[in-house]
Amino acid sequence: MTFLKIFGFGCIVLICFELLVAGVETSSENDDEYLTQKEIILEKSYHGLIRENETLVEITPLIKVNEEKICNFHILKKPYHEIPFEIELVNNLGILKARRTLNCENRKSYHFEICAIYCDGTPSNTANVHITVIDVNEYSPTFLEPSYVIEVDEGRLYNEILRVEASDKDCTPLFGDVCKYEILNNDEPFSIDNEGSIKNTEPLSHKASHNHILSVVAYDCAMKESAPIMVSIKVRRVCETKFLGMPERIDYTSGSTESLQLFPNARLDLCDISCKNEDFRIHSSISLKTKHISFGCDRDISNCTSGQKVKDLLPHGAEWTKELSYDEGLEPIFHFDGSTGVVVPASVIDHYDFSSQPFSILTLFRHNSQIETNKHVKEHIVCNADDHKMNRHHMALFVRNCRLIFLLRKNFNEGDLNIFSPAEWRWKIPEVCDNEWHHYVLNVEDSSKVDLFIDGVRFENSIEDRHSNPEVIDDWPLHAAHGVNTSLAIGACYQSLENRLKHGFNGDISEVKVSLNSVLTAEDIKCGTTCAEHLLAPKPLQSYNEKSYSENSQIKENIEMNEIYISAKNKHDIEQLMRKVQYINIKQKPTVGRRNIEVLTTLSCKNESSLRLPPIETYIMVNEPIAPLGIDIDVGSASLEQSDPLYSPKIAISGTSNKLVSYQEIKLGVHILEKTSIDSLSKTNGKLEDKNHIDSCSVVVFPSLNPDHEDIKIDGDESLSSSMDIKTNINKDGVEMIGKDTISNYINVLRSLVYSNKKPAYYLNRVFKLSCAQQSSQYKSGEYTLTLTVLHPKQTLLKSTNVLPSSSLSKVNLIGNTNNETTLHLNSGSVNGNDNNQSTDTKVYSYSLLHTNNVQEPKSHIHSFMHKAEGSHVTMLIILVSVFLAVLLCGVSIARLKNNQKYIDHHQPCPKTSDDGLVWDDSALTITINPMQADVTSEASSESENSESEDEEALKDGFTHINQLEWDNSNIFQQ
């Protein structure tokens, strides 16, 4: 029983345990299925992007759920973290939005978790959400400073003057980093790099600009531009030790032998140098640069070789040199191209034996190295060779392979034919091929002694080249050749077998001269090479006791006198010495042009390095000569010529200085230079010889012509200058004549010039200036001035009245003397008479000079009357009839008005009113007017009227005088 109870109890316990285990297993299976369903709803993580100016989050991947199971989403917030987002369920999608616009600059990303809520309220599994805020370029760069100001020294180049800096509030590197800086005003000498560093591209000058204002902007990496800021860079003047008061240009008048001070106002500014006055020394060098002038400088060889018999083998203008290419200038220059040359006539040098007698060769040439590969080509300057049968060269000076070579062969009778002797000298010198002018002199005393002088300096070889420069070549003497003479050629060598010139020179030769039977002295060589222009060194300064020269200064100059070296121990001495440096040019006709001057100065202190002052570059301008003019003016003549004796030949122009003409003459045209003469004389050996050719003449009119009513033309037929070489150009400024022709032809053209003026009242004075030139404008005349004065018509009448007797002004004489011309033609050369007449001419001329503008042309009534009196008798008869009818009508009218009075036959003159008009007297029956009184009255009236044209005024005036004549004739008829 007990066993059964125990067994039954155990079974019950076992069954309960199994049921319990079964229930536990069923619960575990349900939990696993629930968890699996939650994991499927949401992903483990989501990534979202949102722009600063938007609220919708672009989520990846999309939050997809089933709305039948899921009814909402929930954002799991963490403590102390703001989550400005919300999530909504829309069409099975979870839409994530921001509650407001976000700011990347405040927070760039957000992290939080979300879960889905089942419709029964059960939450799903959670998912991580990472949202990044996308930056928008909403900010432009801004500079850390509102403006920048800095001060720099002038004259320096800085690696960095200052650095500007800008920042950007945007959060990303694209929009928030500054990648570029720029200077907007590109005309300033500054640059800026991408780091904002500003530097100057050239040295600054306080004189040019004391303040540079820059406008600078910055760009972010997306090239958004900032607002510009101002950067002010002030240039601080730096006291620089230098010479002040140095002129930029120094003018020197050609033809003057006086010296000229170059730096009369020189002043040294030492600033604040560290060394004391007694501890420094100043060194200055003044250099005259004349390599570009003529042959390196102006040279005056007119007085050289005066005691030597020097023959010119290349004269300009000789018959044998006229075919050469010649540069027409102040200095003779012949151009040789390798194919040209000339043979010197035997009359100049008659077969001279150069091997047996001493001689000298003087030449001035310019030569450049040739590109030809053949180094054996000879270019002869002088060559003395056989004139026929053979091509032996006896003496020659030529260039080969940039070496100057002199050849001199002995003759057969000057020694043993089997013994060698020096025959060729070869100098290797750089001057031969440097394309510069050089002066060469060869002194040959005998065949064993040949000296070369280059630019006046004797050639001395160096120790290394003493055996090879010059290289001397020995040769046999020439063999005998009977009946063979020599031919001397310049610029080439005569080859008799080919009967032509060969081995021509390529370059320019100015002169080739020889001195026979003697060599040139050192003085002659120096004279031919010494520059006529040079610097004059100042005299040493005297000490304070004025008995000895100061030891504080030193003065040196080179042999050419184109460089001066000055040294002084104090500021005062160097300034005094610098002010006394002078320039002089003793050449009679120096080359016009520019000469550069360079001044270099260094300042050295004791135990310190020297300071180099800024170099000074200026120049001397040698100008055309301004020759003084001697003017002789007689009664009606003027003579102008150069009074400077240095200028020869002279061109003298003479003629009348004043010419008076009337209105009528100037309208028809006058010969302005009809009494002009030109003489050209040169003084040679005390005698005057005529130079009868002129290159050009010009007539300048002042003021310029008005083409509306003024004109200059050549009188006569148009073929006047057809046979001449004169080209004439006439314009409003005057007449220009160009072309080399005889003086007589120029005078013919000048005297044929006719000047006319249709309205002479505009200008009563005209000035004509004539000047001529000779020998390519090397010799110019002074300006011959002619003043053409238009005589006022009133003064013409006054003059006529003074000359003619008063009795000749009667009416009968005027009518009968129709061939007399009442207008008096006045000029300074045609007035003859006593002193009273000459005095009257002076008064008339002086009066016309006072009336030069705004002159109305009065009428010459006597002149008009005389012309009208020359009309036909029919016209006179018609006029008389008309006057008679007018008188009759006037008489009837008066009779009606004065019917109570009796007829009275008498003459009553016309009273003169205040306005100079004619007033009829009603009490008179017959009126007779004095024609002279009426003439004066009409003159006064015509002066106050302003008519439209001169012809109309003359016509009206003519009828007025005819009416006056009619009244007089009516009185005669009545009598």
Residue range 616-652, pLDDT digits in tens? 999 999 887 765 443 333 333 333 333 343 334 567 8
Contacts of 779 (CB under 8 A, 6+ apart): 647, 648, 649, 650, 651, 773
Check: CB of residue 130 under 8 Å from CB of residue 47: yes
pLDDT of residue 414: 61
Residue range 231-268, pLDDT digits in tens? 999 999 888 888 999 999 999 987 666 789 999 999 99
- Please name the helix (run of DSSP H) or strand (run of DSSP E) that holds residue 510, with its range, or none: strand 506-516
pLDDT of residue 8: 59
pLDDT at residue 858 greater than cutoff 70: no
CA nearest neighbour of 627 among 640, 642, 639, 648: 642
pLDDT at residue 87 greater than cutoff 70: yes
Q: How far is CA 777 from CA 94, 627, 635, 728, 738, in A?
A: 106, 14, 32, 17, 11
pLDDT of residue 343: 93
- Residue 22 CA to residue 28 CA, distance in Å, equals 10
pLDDT of residue 142: 95
Check: CB of residue 266 under 8 Å from CB of residue 618: no
Give 287's pLDDT tier (boundaries 50, 70, 90): very high
**Which whole number is the average pLDDT over 918-932?**
43
pLDDT at residue 515 greater than cutoff 70: yes
Q: Exposure of 88 by Cβ count < 10 A (0-12 exposed, 13-18 middle, 19+ buried)?
A: exposed
**Two domains, one topology: 42-134 and 142-236:** yes
Q: Exposure pattern of 806-840 as b/e (b: 16+ CB <10 Å)? A: eeeeebeebeeeeeeebbbebbbbebeeeeeeeeb
CATH number of 142-236: 2.60.40.60
pLDDT of residue 580: 94
- Residue 383 CA to residue 492 CA, distance in Å, equals 7
Q: Which position has the higher pLDDT, 882 or 947?
A: 882
Q: Exposure pattern of 568-595 as b/e (b: 16+ CB <10 Å)? A: bbbeebbbebbbbbbbbbebeebbebeb
Residue range 432-461, pLDDT digits in tens? 999 888 999 999 987 778 999 998 889 988
Listed range (490-499, 580-589, 920-929) with the worst mean pLDDT: 920-929
Listed range (606-620, 752-766, 906-920) with the worst mean pLDDT: 906-920
List of long-range contacts for 895-902, beta carbons under 8 Å, 24+ apart: 895/925, 897/922, 898/922, 898/923, 898/925
pLDDT of residue 792: 65
φ/ψ of residue 811, rounded to 5: -65, -40
- Residue 409 CA to residue 480 CA, distance in Å, equals 12
pLDDT of residue 918: 39
pLDDT of residue 716: 66
Residue range 154-164, pLDDT digits in tens? 988 999 999 99
- Residue 848 CA to residue 663 CA, distance in Å, equals 12
CA nearest neighbour of 841 among 829, 855, 849, 831: 831
Assigned token pair, 737: 């004549």
- Residue 167 CA to residue 219 CA, distance in Å, equals 10
pLDDT of residue 373: 58
**In terms of DSSP bridges, do strands 260-261 and 629-634 run parallel, antiparallel, or are they unpaired?**
unpaired
Q: Exposure pattern of 901-927 as b/e (b: 16+ CB <10 Å)? A: eeeeeeeeebeeeeeeeeeeeeebbbb
Which range has the top average pLDDT, 542-546, 761-765, 777-781?
A: 761-765
Residue range 940-965, pLDDT digits in tens? 333 433 334 444 443 344 433 333 33
pLDDT of residue 633: 34
Domain 42-134 listed as CATH 2.60.40.60: yes
Q: How far is CA 216 from CA 173, 213, 492, in A?
A: 22, 10, 72
Give 132's pLDDT tier (boundaries 50, 70, 90): very high
Check: CB of residue 404 under 8 Å from CB of residue 432: yes
Torsion, Cα 712 715 719 720, to 10 degrees, reads -100
Contacts of 160 (CB under 8 A, 6+ apart): 197, 198, 199
**Which whole number is the average pLDDT over 268-277?**
75
**In terms of DSSP bridges, do strands 249-253 and 616-623 run parallel, antiparallel, or are they unpaired?**
parallel
Q: What percent of the chain has pLDDT over 70?
A: 70
Torsion, Cα 526 527 533 534, to 10 degrees, reads 30
Residue range 608-617, pLDDT digits in tens? 668 889 999 9
Q: Tell me the pLDDT of the chain averaged across its residues.
A: 75
**Which whole number is the average pLDDT over 737-753?**
86
Q: How many CB atoms lie within 10 A of CB 955?
A: 13
pLDDT at residue 30 greater than cutoff 90: no
φ/ψ of residue 428, rounded to 5: -100, 100
Assigned token pair, 956: 């009206």
pLDDT of residue 9: 57
CATH number of 248-286+532-623: 2.60.40
Residue range 393-415, pLDDT digits in tens? 999 999 999 999 999 988 877 66
Residue range 166-222, pLDDT digits in tens? 999 888 889 999 999 999 998 999 999 999 999 999 999 998 999 999 999 999 999
pLDDT of residue 17: 57
pLDDT at residue 684 greater than cutoff 60: no
- Residue 378 CA to residue 667 CA, distance in Å, equals 73
pLDDT of residue 759: 83
**Which whole number is the average pLDDT over 529-546?**
79
SS3 content of the chain, % helix, strand, coil (to 5): 20, 35, 45
- Residue 132 CA to residue 114 CA, distance in Å, equals 16
CATH number of 636-791: 2.60.40
pLDDT of residue 144: 95
Query: Would you kindly state where each structural domain of the chain is located, as residue ranges?
Result: 1-33, 42-134, 142-236, 248-286+532-623, 310-520, 636-791, 861-974
Q: Exposure of 602 by Cβ count < 10 A (0-12 exposed, 13-18 middle, 19+ buried)?
A: middle
Assigned token pair, 689: 């010889």
CATH number of 310-520: 2.60.120.200
Prediction pTM value = 0.47
Give 424's pLDDT tier (boundaries 50, 70, 90): very high
